[in-house]
Structure 1
């Protein structure tokens, strides 16, 4: 075996071990979720069926899994949309430049550095203090914290920095000659944005929407102290790991993973369609 071949197989072996370490637990959970009625939480598998998925459909104990599923789905969709709506004008502002841009950029990125649980505690405390003030005027007020208030804000502190970084990278590679050509042809700034800039960066926009949804879909730490009375699916799943002792918990994990894979697949398909359409034109 020559030197090049030896290096290749060593690196291939390291990569294989890394892939097994990274994805092995997920494959194990998926496999164990397809056991028969006598299945347990560990290998070897006992039978092969979709029994535990049918049990999951009936419900897991006193927890309303499908309500939590719907809450996470709605929250993820709103986070995805808001991340796009906020990041696009923010990135366009950075293209133009404004006073305090560097300070604002580092303030936004600091959210990625701060421990997630600290962010969650801070948001939860902020809403509790706000509730105390509201109770001074509204006697029956319970809490302002909830799925689309405190939890939404907590998730946006996680998704907005990623979205802004993606768009700044996209605009860094953007060829301004397309804009100049549009202006030479008489396009207004609005037409240039809508007909030239946004179609060119469309794959990045799809990527931001994907990031927004998936980061919200499986977020636990930033939600734990800032949610209010009703849990999202990841929080319910974490709680069930302490009480459920059947492969139904694996079936739930498989379903949540499947949702993420479906969203990723749709996003990749949209990116492919956008690129093909651009090549044809």
Structure 2
């Protein structure tokens, strides 16, 4: 067996430290959330129990945890659907060059380099000037779209740049209308990418803090509620909440990955059946 060079072990240690740096804080919060009833916010742990998870489901003296969760969930779903629809439409539109397409492209992605707090401030000011009420479902929704849409559009631009147009030509040769071509040919082919865009849209919205800070109005989303709890909650219940929200995000990601695997298997099965002439 060929001996590995010393650089391999050095880089392995560096990678392990990098992983620890990324996930160490999350693991620490997860561990501390299992403290006993007399536990505090730091190590060493004072017992091990599920006390603080059960405490989450009781009447809280401060905050509106479950109301904030429902608002974040609803907002995430709204942003997800809107991001997918507009990203697909934008990807289809940019398949052909048109006057001003380059400038429009850079205008679309410009919000990614603008500080998030300035986006939040700007959207809030616009709603105030227009006389509209600042609310998480209106101004907060619009502010978050400035974050999710550029990612969705960039993904769809890449997808359509690789898309084989011969599938569409074959559908049109068979008499399919433009809408039928998109519905029965284009969308099924790009479906895995649509799931990726949906995942981006939901998770970016669900975890967003800065762009929602000045646009949520009087009702907090979950990230804002957690931030508020850091100033007045002195028990590990905040760690339990963080652990549950992290698990919820992982469940969403896992469900999307499972959907992608199922779609890949179906596509492979259909391809093998077509190859056998079934």
Cα displacement string for residues 148-184 of structure 1 (whole angstroms, at most 9, x for unaligned residues): 1100000000000000001111112212222222223
Partner Cα distance (2:60, 2:102) in 1: 49
Partner Cα distance (2:208, 2:140) in 1: 10
Aligned equivalent of 1:162, options 123, 129, 151:
151
Cα displacement string for residues 30-79 of structure 1 (whole angstroms, at most 9, x for unaligned residues): 11101111211112222221100111111432211111110111000111
Q: CA RMSD in A?
A: 1.5
Partner Cα distance (1:258, 1:247) in 2: 17
Which residue number in structure 1 is paired with residue 241 of structure 2?
252
Partner Cα distance (2:5, 2:179) in 1: 56
Which residue number in structure 2 is paired with residue 219 of structure 1?
208
Partner Cα distance (2:96, 2:177) in 1: 17
Q: Aligned ranges for residues 176-195 of structure 1 at < 5 Å? A: 176-195=165-184
Which residue number in structure 1 is paired with residue 19 of structure 2?
19
Partner Cα distance (1:217, 1:61) in 2: 24
Structure 2-normalised TM-score? 0.93
Partner Cα distance (1:248, 1:173) in 2: 48
Deviation at 1:3, TM superposition (A): 7.6
Q: Residue 11 of structure 2: SS of its match in structure 1?
A: helix
Partner Cα distance (1:162, 1:273) in 2: 25
1:59/1:65 contact within 8 Å kept:
no
Partner Cα distance (1:149, 1:188) in 2: 36
**Are 1:174 and 2:126 an aligned pair?**
no
Q: Which moved more, 1:201-210 or 1:179-188?
A: 179-188
Q: Aligned ranges for residues 32-111 of structure 1 at < 5 Å? A: 32-111=32-111
2:136/2:212 contact within 8 Å kept:
no
Aligned equivalent of 2:262, options 265, 273, 276:
273
1:112/1:158 contact within 8 Å kept:
yes
Deviation at 1:2, TM superposition (A): 7.4
Partner Cα distance (1:193, 1:212) in 2: 22
Q: Residue 201 of structure 1: SS of its match in structure 2?
A: helix
Q: Residue 95 of structure 2: SS of its match in structure 1?
A: helix
How many residues get paired?
270
Structure 2: gaps spanning 5 or more residues: 271-278
Partner Cα distance (2:184, 2:8) in 1: 47
Structure 1: gaps spanning 5 or more residues: 132-142
Partner Cα distance (1:3, 1:162) in 2: 43
Partner Cα distance (2:171, 2:258) in 1: 28
